[in-house]
């Protein structure tokens, strides 16, 4: 672990130095913005590290739950594999641009994020002014935590099948998770929306597409009860209490 930490710190040092040496007129990304407002290099590297680790944890959570739901719903898995395998050359990895154009893949991603948001409770907010909500007076300075998990399973919004994994609900919908639709906010919304949304959404799309394309999958037969137990572990990022054991075979 110490060796991994050392190598990652060295990597962050290189990233910061490359951005310091680069010509600003030719590029301007997130690290450049941080450099412009943050003079403490140690703090800057910690911010980048936190974003990287947060994006990795949420992506792993998404992949575990998405694969769980796909294996529990073989028809959805087959439909997704058919789309991916017919849209991308057999011996090549699916690219980010290819993944963005796959309608059913995007529907599966949205449905997995809706039903199994990696971070069910959004980052706490503090009210800047007094608010009256449904008869309740909430004073300025109150810390508010938004339950995205509950919002995205609300039957008044999503229908009586809100608890079911059904990617088709997104095929004819313009609903997106970029923070504009308040009934679908796995990454939050507004100025405090998750800054890693671009990194995470690209990563989960490409990863899921290639995992599903290149292999056929089944759950471990034993113990069957544990594999179908969808109890969630506690934590800021939600994984399965009993980790998914998925067995691949050649496609």
What phi and psi, each to the nearest 5 degrees, are found at residue 206? -65, -45
Q: Which two tokens stand for residue 63?
A: 């992949």
- Assess if residue 99 is contained within a domain: yes
- Assess if residue 48 is contained within a domain: no
- Rounded to the nearest integer, the mean pLDDT of the chain is 86
- Assess if residue 19 is contained within a domain: no
CATH number at residue 182: 1.10.630.10
**Neighbouring-strand partners of residue 215:** 250
- The span from the CA of 121 to the CA of 22, in Å, is 38
Q: How confident is the model at residue 76 (pLDDT cuts 50, 70, 90)?
A: very high
- Assess if residue 216 is contained within a domain: yes
Residues belonging to the chain: 251
What phi and psi, each to the nearest 5 degrees, are found at residue 242? -110, 105
* Domain range for 127: 62-250
State yes or no: pLDDT of 29 exceeds 90.
no
- Assess if residue 116 is contained within a domain: yes
**What local confidence, expressed as pLDDT, does residue 1 receive?**
54
**What local confidence, expressed as pLDDT, does residue 99 receive?**
94
- The span from the CA of 157 to the CA of 114, in Å, is 12
The answer to whether 245 touches 228, Cβ cutoff 8 Å, is: no
**What local confidence, expressed as pLDDT, does residue 221 receive?**
60
**What local confidence, expressed as pLDDT, does residue 26 receive?**
61
State yes or no: pLDDT of 227 exceeds 70.
no
Cβ burial of 196 (10 Å; 0-12, 13-18, 19+) is buried
Number of domains in the chain: 1
Within 10 Å of residue 239's Cβ, how many Cβ atoms? 18
Task: Tell me what the mean pLDDT of segment 53-63 comes to.
Answer: 84
- Assess if residue 45 is contained within a domain: no
DSSP code per residue over 196-219: THHHHHHHHHHHHHHHHHHEEEEE
Task: Tell me what the mean pLDDT of segment 21-33 comes to.
Answer: 68
State yes or no: pLDDT of 224 exceeds 60.
no
Task: Report the range of poorest mean pLDDT among 35-49, 191-205, 211-225.
Answer: 35-49
Task: Tell me what the mean pLDDT of segment 21-50 comes to.
Answer: 70
- Assess if residue 4 is contained within a domain: no
Q: How confident is the model at residue 162 (pLDDT cuts 50, 70, 90)?
A: very high
- Assess if residue 139 is contained within a domain: yes
pTM: 0.81
For the chain, how far is it from start to end, CA to CA, in angstroms? 35
């Amino acid at each position: 672990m110490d060796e991994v930490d050392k190598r990652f710190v060295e990597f962050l040092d290189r990233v910061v130095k490359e951005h310091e040496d680069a010509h600003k007129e030719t590029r301007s990304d997130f690290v450049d913005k941080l450099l412009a407002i943050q003079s403490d290099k140690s703090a800057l590297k910690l911010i980048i590290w936190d974003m990287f680790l947060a994006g990795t944890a949420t992506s792993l959570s998404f992949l575990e739950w998405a694969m769980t739901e796909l294996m529990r719903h073989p028809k959805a898995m087959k439909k997704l594999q058919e789309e991916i395998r017919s849209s991308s050359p057999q011996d090549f990895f699916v690219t980010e641009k290819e993944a963005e154009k796959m309608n059913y893949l995007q529907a599966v991603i949205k449905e997995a994020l809706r039903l199994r948001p990696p971070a069910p409770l959004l980052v706490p907010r503090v009210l800047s002014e007094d608010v009256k909500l449904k008869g309740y007076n909430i004073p300025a300075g109150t810390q508010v935590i938004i339950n995205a998990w509950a919002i995205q399973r609300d039957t008044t919004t999503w229908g009586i099948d809100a608890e079911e994994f059904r990617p088709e609900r997104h095929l004819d919908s313009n609903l997106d998770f970029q923070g504009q639709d308040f009934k679908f906010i796995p990454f939050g919304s507004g100025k405090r929306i998750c800054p890693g949304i671009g990194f995470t959404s690209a990563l989960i799309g490409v990863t899921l597409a290639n995992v599903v394309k290149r292999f056929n999958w089944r759950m471990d037969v034993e113990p069957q009860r544990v594999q179908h137990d969808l109890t969630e572990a506690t934590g800021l990022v939600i994984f399965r209490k009993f980790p998914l054991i998925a067995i691949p075979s050649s496609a």
